[in-house]
Amino acid sequence: MNSENERGQIGKSLKIITDTFDSCNANYRILGLTLLVAHTSRVFRHINDVDVLLDIKAKDCIFEKLKNQGFELIRKTKAGFSWFEARRSDCLGLTFLLIGEFRENYFSWLFMKFFELRIKADYLRPTRYNFENIQFIGIPISSVIARIRQSFLNPKRKLDKQILGNEMRKTKIKIYNNISVYFLGLKLPYLYDIFSFFYNIYGGLRVMFGQKYEIWD
């Protein structure tokens, strides 16, 4: 697919996605490569999926509308992590990475019965993006850059870093303590950041041996 065709497919897919989210009055954030493509107005890497963080109150409405539009909803599990994907042959897929609850100071996602992942509200501050005249809500570009810095051994992030250029150095960011793990309501300080650090090394080693950085990719 050439760049212009891919731009058209991304725009078409974002139109379907945002119309569905708006019709369900959903609180959501689009994440990942889609933000960089919109931010730079350049399709510099192929997009397979639009990654989404979604408030659980809109889940049933959105899933029902997606099914009515011909999407197949699939639940996937790998390495103890579970997520949903929505597939339709003529547009980009949707990957619902986390479905939880937006609260005043953080986003909450419960897992493994007694554990909770909390993402600070500042890290997820609703930020409006525009691509092919389609507006959608993502997270701040500073948060995207923080994630790139944390996973610098991922080959995809190296290209993202090159595309952002001087913005990587000039943007004020907070790399650590944006995401925390809680057990029975008690914070386990820096556990998520420690996991991210060691996974970055593990992912880098996987790449060295010809495998993909992400075990779930």
pLDDT at 34 over 70: yes
Structural domain includes residue 217: no
Rounded Cα distance, 52 and 84, in Å: 10
Residue 2 pLDDT: 57
Cα of 32 vs its chain's centroid, Å? 4
Structural domain includes residue 215: no
Total domains present in the chain: 1
Structural domain includes residue 145: yes
Rounded Cα distance, 30 and 174, in Å: 20
Identify the CATH number of the domain in which residue 175 sits: 3.30.460.40
Pairing of strands 93-102, 49-55: parallel
- In the predicted model, what is the mean pLDDT of residues 179-196? 96
- Mean pLDDT across the chain: 94
pLDDT at 215 over 90: no
Structural domain includes residue 213: no
Rounded Cα distance, 2 and 84, in Å: 29
Instruction: For residue 100, give the nearest of 112, 92, 108 by alpha carbon.
Output: 108
Residue 217 pLDDT: 61
pLDDT at 45 over 80: yes
- Judge if pTM exceeds 0.75: yes
159 Cβ contact list (under 8 Å, min separation 6): 44, 45
76: containing domain? 3-208
Tens digits of per-residue pLDDT, 47-82?
989 999 999 999 999 999 999 999 999 999 887 788
Structural domain includes residue 144: yes
